[in-house]
Structure 1
Amino acid sequence: MIALFLLAAMPAKADRAVELDRLATRYHALGQLDGSVLVADRGSVIYHRAFGLANREWQIPHTTDTAFRVASLTKQFTATLVMQLAEQGKLRLDDRIGKFVPELSPEIGNRVTLHHLLNHTSGIVDYANYPGFWSNRLGEKVPKADFLAIMNRPLEFEPGSQGHYSSSNYTLLGWVIEKQTGKTYSEALDSMILRPAGMRRTAYDAPDRIMPRKASGYVRALGQYRPADPLWIPNIGAGGGVVSTTGDFLKLDRALAGNALLTPESKRQMFTAYVKDDVWGDLGYGYGWLVGSRTIAGKSRLVHEHGGNGNGFRTLVTRYPEDGKLVVIFLNEGNGNKGPEIYKMRRDFTDVLYGQAVTLPKPSLHDLLAAEIHRAGDEAALAHFDALLAQSSQPENGDGLNRLAYQYAEMGRASTGIAILQRATALFPRDGNLHDSMGELYLLLGSNGNARAAYQRALELDPDNGNAKEMLKKLGQ
């Protein structure tokens, strides 16, 4: 009773900070949180703490001032710059992109507007995920002509008719910004956003620019870390080239809550959900943000959110603007995939922020399975799959197991990866991507018949799966 009385007597802010620290410490112990977490309420910091190592080679720990590559959170800055130029009369949102990038074909340049680019409804092919685009040159300068060759491929759909996330959109917007300001993207960012917002620990991560206390990026596979491959930042530029801190993103949040960067009308346009997103599917595309609502603490809450997934980094920022609440999570581990762990952290931290009870997280199924395979071998580990599932945090989708399967395949153990995918498809029978992955791993083993069957099932579950269609053509069906 005394303990309960003391807890009730604690100020709400301190109470939430204790619970947030309990959760964050647990996530770090599970190997899912190496980085910095900031949780704020109406500009007041509730919790700000760093975990793990900013540099594993030198054993340098993170601090709350560590700078991270924020990957696609850069798109928020790019969208803000475009809106500022619109306010200044230097462009219109209904301008065609061909006006600024004449190298685009007329079929694209005369049909796609800046509005379409901002909210991912352009239909322009995404270079970032185009098969083979990055092969053996992730760390090298890619000629502009190579980007344009992908962007000039036939549109995937009529502009404005649907949404499809594409970094090509924001690379094009970056070129527009440079043309209309007469400055480099970095110079425009500094003068138009960072200095006005007081974001002194944020910058464009140019190759010749030293950013003090910047984290190194890592990839974790089968419980082991390795340095992320080198990345030539100008290749991703206005779509993913910014480095920042969790503390500076609080400053950005406050600047957007006021009128320091944009007028109320510009913010209304930016934070309108124009079309359903195809990332997680529960929000919609605004300009540089995902916008929508989620039920939290029994009430529908307005949400502004965006994630970043880069080579060696994962980032996520979530705003609850009507309540003035903010959750920022930056990690220096990632392989470019949108892993579910950071979103689970955001959900738990948000629940605590809104006064909800949260149970401590359990290990992920793919981590438990990898450890058991290492300890007991493939056959024994998979025989205990159901027991491991019961011990885990119960995956909501097959993404984690899919990544694990590829990690084994990359080690020359495609048969292990296939066995994992077989269990994954039993858990998530409607996930066509798992069957698509299985087809790829069967091809590695030279089993064309099984690959054909896997791709066929992937296409049955997702008739829009272009990769499955292409592979079935190559396999003679």
Structure 2
Amino acid sequence: MQKPIGLICAVVLALSAAVNAQASTLEQLVRAYAEQRDFSGVVLVARDGQPIYQAAFGMAQPAWKVAVTDDSVFRIGSLSKPLTATLVMRLAEIGRLNLDETVATYLPAAYAGTDAGKITVRQLLAHTSGLADLPSRYTDPFWSKDARRHYTPKEFASEWIPGALASEPGIWRYNNNGYYLLGMIVEAATGKSYAENMKQYIFAPAGMQDSGVFDGRTIIAKLAQGTVQADDGTRLMPPYIDPSVSYSAAGLYSTALDLVRFDAALAGGRLLNQTSQRDMFTNRGKGYGYGWEVEDWAVRKDAPLPVVLHTGSVPGYQSIFVRSLSDHVAIVILDNAWQGATVVAMARDIADLVHGKAVALPRRSLQAALGPILFREGLDAMRAAYIRLGVRESTMYDVSESALNAFGYSLLRKGQPEAAIQVFRWNAEAYPLSHNVHDSLAEALLASGDREGARAGYARVLALDPGNRHATEELEKLRHTPP
């Protein structure tokens, strides 16, 4: 039965008003992240492939005062993995490769007769290969020395992906080298480069006109320059890593709109059939499928929201891509200031807000306020500033348990255990019943050489959480390790 025209108009107007109200609320939230956390990048929220909110903040080229725009291009780091996985699944669909074949089948010259050669393509996709991997922290000498060299894929595999395994296959462990080998397998199976395959099977069918494999030589229009924050609070160019090290594991660039096009192409079956997608989005261990994290987010009262997502990080850039499988909401955040915690927190808040959950506006980062003071004036000055700012009673700064913990670990990684201990002590004072806070404090005390303090800290953890395995193991080590 045909509905009256007036009723149709009323429904359309109501839906339009709802979308506008939601976008207005998202604008308030995202703008607060830009103002309070200095977010620089693009945010795009879409439903059924259609944008309902998009905004850009910060500088794409700080030296020239060129602003980030909606169509700015960003390197996306490990957000490349879902696209690489989709490519591999597509090639399996059309019979160009077999997910149950082994590495040695496709790369016999490098891996025949080795334990790595026995790994299957499925295990590479699921991070259950047991391959040796690259150092996870950028403070490792590998990143400041060897990662600056240019490699062909064959050269890189020969030097950094050995035939001997680091762990038993079947156990989940995030592994960049596994996705590097997937790029090589794609090339061996098709006779074309990884870049050509991405263009033919992913970018072109999805209409992704501004995406590609970053090579460090090609001039990319509208590419945002990545930056990192120095200890004194200023912005610097990121440390150089040759793009050949990233390849099929973390080597793509894209735009927010292109990633929404990728989302729509997947949802519409233009890249993979439903059977392949179900296979790809099945949890294979630790909440990870084939190239995607697989989670349930508590954004609704009636039932958890099933989502697939991935983050990406390469010096100077941070990204996250979240896809809701039930109501087809996509969230894309691309950042050129390497703000990992900010980007992930914003994505969570956006998901909550879009699904009707109340969200508090973000506060200023305590780390951003106190870190430069520590660098310029020392630990005593940081302590004084903490008191002077009235941080614990302030509503201006984020003094959540997770924020303080992240601040403390950042200092610990930078080789400042005394400052880290102070931050963890502030956290323990604010959240005395949190076993995790006391665990972090004990770890920092141990790193500083205070074994008795560490022992007391881990004992406190067990008092709060008697079954805590980590604290039990650390106390056992302290008992049997000489001072």
Q: Deviations over 1:157-201 (max 9, x none)?
A: 3222x3111101100101101111111111111111111111001
Cα 1:99/1:213, change in 2 over 3 Å = same
1:80-99 to 2 correspondences below 5 Å: 80-99=86-105
Mapped partners of 1:14, 1:356: distance in 2: 17
| 2:173 matched residue in structure 1 | 164
Give 1:417 shift. Answer: 4.0
Q: What is the aligned partner in structure 2 of residue 255 from structure 1?
A: 265
Distance 1:395 1:165, change over 3 A: farther
Q: 1:464 to 1:262 in 2, by over 3 A?
A: farther
Partner of 2:406: 400
> How far apart in 1 are the matches of 2:472 and 2:87?
35
Distance verdict in 2 for CA 1:384–1:405, change over 3 Å = farther
Alpha-carbon offset, residue 321 of structure 1: 1.9
Counterpart among 235, 240, 243 of residue 233 in structure 1: 243
Aligned with 1:170: secondary structure? helix
Q: Structure 2: how far apart are the matches of 1:64 and 1:261?
A: 25
Given that 1:101 and 1:109 are in contact with CA atoms closer than 8 Å, whether structure 2 keeps it comes out as no
Among 330, 333, 343, the residue aligned to 1:329: 333
Does the Cα contact within 8 Å between 1:120 and 1:166 map onto a contact in 2?
Answer: yes
1:104 and 1:148 in contact (8 A); partners too: no
Match of residue 135 from structure 1: 144
Secondary structure, aligned partner of 2:37: coil
Q: What whole-Å deviation, never above 9, does each CA across 1:210-242 have from its counterpart, x for those lacking one?
A: 210001111124432111112211111001100
Report the TM-score, using the length of structure 1 for normalisation.
0.83
* Aligned partner letter, 1:228: P
Residue of structure 2 in register with 1:191 after alignment: 200
Question: How big is each residue's C-alpha offset from its partner over 1:293-319, in whole Å with a ceiling of 9 and x where there is no partner?
Answer: 122121311101100111101100101
- Alpha-carbon contact 1:98-1:108 (below 8 Å) kept: no
Structure 1 residue 350: Cα displacement: 1.3
CA distance in 2, matches of 1:226, 1:403: 21
Between stretches 45-54 and 373-382, larger displacement belongs to 373-382
2:33 match: secondary structure: helix
Give the one of 309, 314, 317 matched to 2:313. Answer: 309
Q: Does the C-alpha gap of structure 1 residues 248 and 396 become closer, same or farther in structure 2, counting only changes over 3 Å?
A: farther
- Contact persistence 1:369–1:388 (CA under 8 A): no
Relative to structure 1, the CA distance from residue 437 to residue 227 in structure 2 (aligned partners, 3 Å threshold; closer, same or farther) is farther
Q: What's the Cα RMSD here?
A: 3.6
Which residue of structure 1 lines up, in the alignment, with residue 4 of structure 2? none
Q: C-alpha displacement at 1:268, in angstroms? A: 1.2
Structure 1 distance, partners of 2:336, 2:207, is: 24
Aligned residue identity for 2:94: Q
What corresponds to 2:51 in structure 1?
45
Question: 2:364 is matched by which residue type in structure 1?
Answer: P
**Which runs of no fewer than 5 residues in structure 1 stay unpaired?**
1-7, 277-283
Judge which range, 254-263 or 23-32, deviates more. 23-32
Distance 1:30 1:450, change over 3 A: farther
Aligned partner of residue 286 in structure 1, secondary structure: coil
Counterpart code for 2:23: A
**Alignment CA distance shift 1:167-1:434 (3 Å):** farther
Note the C-alpha offset of 1:418. Answer: 4.2
Q: Deviations over 1:342-374 (max 9, x none)?
A: 121112111221233322211233234336656
In the alignment, the residues of structure 1 paired with residue 132 and residue 393 of structure 2 have an alpha-carbon distance, to the nearest angstrom, of 38
Contact 2:130 2:165 in 1 (8 A): yes
Aligned equivalents of 1:422 and 1:381: distance in 2?
Answer: 16
Cα pair 1:439 1:451 within 8 Å, conserved: yes
> Following superposition of structure 1 onto structure 2, how do residues 321-400 of structure 1 map, counting pairs within 5 Å?
321-334=325-338, 339-370=340-371, 373=374, 377-383=381-387, 387-388=391-392, 390-391=394-395, 392-397=397-402, 399-400=405-406
Q: Secondary structure at the match of 2:53?
A: strand
**Equivalent-residue separation in structure 1 for 2:469 and 2:155 (angstroms):** 33
| Alignment partners' CA distance in 2, 1:82 and 1:358 | 38
Q: Is the Cα–Cα contact under 8 Å of residues 425 and 435 in structure 1 kept in the other structure?
A: no
Q: Equivalents in 2 of 1:451, 1:73: separation in Å?
A: 40
- Match of 1:177, SS state, is helix
User: Partners in 1 of 2:33 and 2:252 — Cα distance?
Assistant: 26
CA separation in 2, counterparts of 1:14 and 1:237? 40
Counterpart CA distance in 2 for 1:127 and 1:275 is 21
**1:104 corresponds to which of 107, 111, 120:** 111
Q: Which moved more, 1:393-402 or 1:313-322?
A: 393-402
Tell me if the contact between 1:365 and 1:389 (Cα under 8 Å) persists in the aligned partners: no
Indicate the percent of aligned positions where both proteins have the same amino acid.
Answer: 29
- C-alpha separation in 2, matches of 1:42 and 1:178: 33
SS at match of 1:316: strand
Contact kept? 1:121, 1:164, Cα under 8 Å: yes
Counterpart in the other structure of 1:213? 222
2:68 and 2:42 map into 1 onto residues whose CA distance is 7
The reply to whether residue 124 of structure 1 matches residue 131 of structure 2 is yes
Post-superposition offset of 1:105: 7.0
Distance 1:14 1:99 in 2: 54
Shift of 1:259: 1.3
Higher Cα Rg: structure 1 or 2? 2
Contact 1:436/1:454 (<8 A) preserved = no
Q: Distance in 1 between matches of 2:147 and 2:107?
A: 24
8 Å contact kept, 1:421–1:438: no
**C-alpha separation between the residues in 1 aligned to 2:33 and 2:84?**
32
The alpha carbon displacement at 1:9 in A equals 10
* Other structure's SS at 1:377 match: helix
Letter in 1 for 2:120: T
Distance 1:29 1:465, change over 3 A: farther
Instruction: Summarize the Cα distance change of 1:404–1:158 in structure 2 as closer, same or farther, 3 Å threshold.
Output: closer
TM-score by length of 2: 0.82
2-structure distance, mates of 1:207, 1:419 = 41
**Other structure's SS at 2:202 match:** helix
The answer to whether the 8 Å contact 1:99/1:109 transfers is no
State the number of aligned residues. Answer: 449
1:446-457 mapped onto 2 (5 Å cutoff):
none
Q: Is the deviation greater in 286-295 or in 368-377?
A: 368-377
User: Measured at CA, do residues 49 and 379 of structure 1 come closer, stay the same or move farther in structure 2, by a change above 3 Å?
Assistant: closer
Q: What is the CA distance between 1:381 and its match in structure 2? A: 3.1
Structure 1 CA distance for aligned equivalents of residues 219 and 29 of structure 2: 34
Decide whether the 8 Å contact of 1:38 with 1:327 is kept in 2: yes
